[in-house]
Structure 1
């Protein structure tokens, strides 16, 4: 029998996200958790996922703010190019200050954009849009810096030392912000849909758990990883869409361990449709490997790292 959670459980209201499947995929019933005998045997599924109206609206606001910040960054770049660099004696402190401000604006905009993408992700089916939407922060950082860097080194009013200092700082800031702005694990509609279908298939309902400090979400309140100590001592419970709205990146990869800890039928892992199994990395190797996010590791001091 699974142990009772040690933390206070906070139920998050289920948002009105829609998920559909073109063929039978979930094995749950209203009476409780599914069993392997009720589950389909690796049938092809094509789940579709749409964000909740609340999530889509919030994503729209974040994207609008991002565009405003990028516009301000490019305006700062234009001011540096068409006024600061045009002076006979270039004000180095003003130029360096503008470089720092442009970098800060670009970084904040990129972080807000990535947050919006987790609320309203793109589809992997459109490769170009998927790449641009998820890497727009890095792209806009280059736009906000590269013309300025080129014109700094071509400027006739600056000596070699000044060009080296200003150009070097601009290059360093552009690289640092670009690396932070890039999305190395971009979300997708397909990922969210497969995660939701997987959770329903394994547990019988669209319900997962997570903590404020963790990066992934889990199958139940009694999963060991979600019960590690944290500052607020709370476990949040709700649908997959709510977990993503709370900033959680993905479903845990410790599915085998959590199926045992939650009291679900392990045989259900073998009945996952191939596309869902591939999407959540359900393989013997992954089932026996510790999850990468810090929340799934042993706690240190008073909070999970």
Structure 2
């Protein structure tokens, strides 16, 4: 029997399940199914984007003040210039963090390549806009000596690099990714329900997986929809979901193979399904050969 986890399991409630265009049999014919957020998630993402835009606008405003007033003073007020550089960096990073969270709630589609790139990398683009002109003008300024230029310019470069790193989306979310992950979980388990822990970067098939039972920051396992897992900061479904499903979650290799076949567009015929009852029944079953858990996660 699968060992019951000792950690407390906490359900993360979602107001409504996430919507996917073209669900059911019709949706399975789409090569790239489209995922759409709930109205609540969409509204929350919009609020985050508005706040991020305000923070970025203020950051660029500070840059303009530094360029058109501070750098024109004789002598240049160094402490004020440095304060403006640091404040611009803080505002830029704050906007980027909010923008990334909005993208988790309401991701772009990979089908629209230009929008997908801009939406996911806008934080880095704004950071460059907010700092690069100022840094160039600092080094070109005639009212500053070499030591002052090195100090202000060096600080500007460091803050630019930090703000750009925070602005880059290293694992950009997409509608297609959310749709595929939701399809995998629903086809395998019969419901949109996954598990994760604080501090981890991925979510898992069931609560019995060793990775979610390791010691974590708050000693809890969270469960909720794929969308809720992404909102909680998880980048993706674990790449080992197949081995997790068979080793720890009670699903058979036939059930996993059936899900993989559907993902590949190779849907089994009615005759094949009738010969493979395990592929029809999404409910977990015990495999006598798997009564003892391996020591390590899949």
Same fold (TM over 0.5): yes
CA contact (8 A) 1:23 1:46 kept: no
Alignment counterpart, residue 225 of structure 1, candidates 208, 211, 215: 211
Q: Find the partner of 1:150 among 132, 136, 142.
A: 136
Partner of 2:4: 4
Of 47, 51, 73 in structure 1, the residue corresponding to residue 59 of structure 2 is 73
1:200 is the counterpart of 2:186: yes
Counterpart for residue 18 of structure 1 = 19
Higher relative contact order (CA 8 A, sep 6+): 1
Matched, 1:57 2:43: yes
**1:264 corresponds to:** 251
C-alpha displacement at 1:22, in angstroms?
A: 5.9
Distance apart, 1:80 and its partner CA: 0.6
Report 1:1-305 matches (<5 A): 1-14=1-14, 15-21=16-22, 24=25, 45-259=31-245, 260-273=247-260, 276=263
CA-to-aligned-CA distance 1:3-28 (integer Å, 9 cap, x gap): 212111222334331124466499xx
CA deviation map 1:244-273 (0-9, x unaligned): 222221101121331120001222333335
Shift of 1:276: 3.8
Contact 1:135/1:183, CA 8 A, preserved across alignment: yes
Instruction: Report the Cα distance in structure 1 between the residues aligned to 2:258 and 2:146, rounded to whole angstroms.
Output: 67
Alignment root-mean-square deviation, CA? 2.4
CA distance in 2, matches of 1:274, 1:78: 56
Q: Secondary structure at the match of 1:10?
A: strand
Query: Once the two structures are superposed, what CA deviation does each residue of 1:21-53 show, in whole Å capped at 9, x if it has no partner?
Result: 466499xxxxxxxxxxxxxxx987542211112
Q: CA deviation at 1:137?
A: 0.4
Looking at structure 2, the residues matched to 202 and 73 of structure 1 have their Cα atoms a distance apart, in angstroms, of: 47
Larger CA Rg, structure 1 vs 2: 2
Does structure 2 conserve the Cα–Cα contact (< 8 Å) formed by 1:121 and 1:188? yes
Q: Which structure 1 residue ranges, 5 or more long, are not aligned?
A: 27-41, 279-297, 300-305
Alpha-carbon distance between aligned partners in 2 of 1:109 and 1:6, rounded to the nearest angstrom: 39
| Counterparts of 2:29 and 2:258, CA distance in 1 | 9
Normalization by structure 2: what TM-score?
Answer: 0.82
Shift of 1:275: 8.3
**Aligned residue pairs: how many?**
265
Structure 1 match to 2:281 = none
Unaligned stretches of 5+ residues in structure 2: 266-295
